[in-house]
Amino acid sequence: MIAVVTWNDMAPQLSLELDDVRRPLVEAYIAAATSHIDGPTGWLQRAIGVQTLELRFEAVRRQCVALPCPPVINVVGVSYLDRDGVLQEAPVDGVELIDSALHPINSSWPWETASVRRDAVRVRYRAGYETVPPSIKVAIMMMATDLVRNRGTVAVGLSATSVPMSTTVEALLNPFQVFR
């Protein structure tokens, strides 16, 4: 994934334009803030920058398959394990993408002969914003700025697994959060 926020975005905000010594640290904080909210395990449950994801699932009969982490751009590949456990490539033109959901073309899925394993079907797809909304970029910059200015790892009253976000950052990100 291409960086959503770069050193060139952050340096003026932190008044560090001429400070290449702190650049690796600031870039690490940008990466940490981005990964906290991005992708399948991120707070937003959404792809921010363009990236290739893979969904694995059981080949059960269903009307559609919802692809997580919108916005979905396109399907890159479809494969499945056949009943002998051999990986087979299925034609991408056997599925249709409508919004963030796959639908079969000709009323049958290309993986009709898949194994009964829970991960028998694999759909690779590209997701993310080609132009990241400004409020997401600003939220990442604010989170990275907070990390630069407050480097401590322990805060009284917070669990070790929570990453606190300011109410402003949360307000900027809330419209983009996916709820399941």
With respect to residue 1, please indicate whether it lies within any of the assigned structural domains: no
- What is the residue range of 172's domain? 7-44+133-176
Q: Using CA atoms, how far apart are residues 157 and 43, in angstroms rounded to an integer? A: 20
pLDDT at 163: 53
Please check the confidence at residue 81 and state whether its pLDDT lies above 90: yes
Instruction: Report the alpha-carbon distance of residue 163 to residue 85 in Å, rounded.
Output: 41
Whether residue 36 is found in the same domain as residue 67: no
Same domain for 146 and 165: yes
105 plus 122 within the same structural domain: yes
- Count up the domains in the chain and report the number: 2
| Residue 161: per-residue pLDDT | 46
- Give the pLDDT mean for 152-174: 69
* pLDDT higher at 153 or 104: 104
Q: What's the confidence (pLDDT) of residue 150?
A: 77
**Are both 143 and 100 inside the same structural domain?**
no
Shared-domain flag, residues 97 and 55: yes
The yes-or-no verdict on residue 159 having pLDDT over 70 is no
Nearest alpha carbon to residue 28 among 47, 9, 45, 7: 7
Are residue 55 and residue 122 in the same domain, yes or no? yes
Read off the pLDDT band of 152 (50, 70, 90): low
**Do 116 and 62 share a domain, yes or no?**
yes
For 160, list phi and psi in degrees, rounded to 5.
-70, -20
Same domain, 65 and 79: yes
Mean pLDDT of 4-27: 81
Residue 173 is predicted with a pLDDT of: 95
Average pLDDT over residues 101-116: 86
Residue 2 belongs to some domain of the structure: no
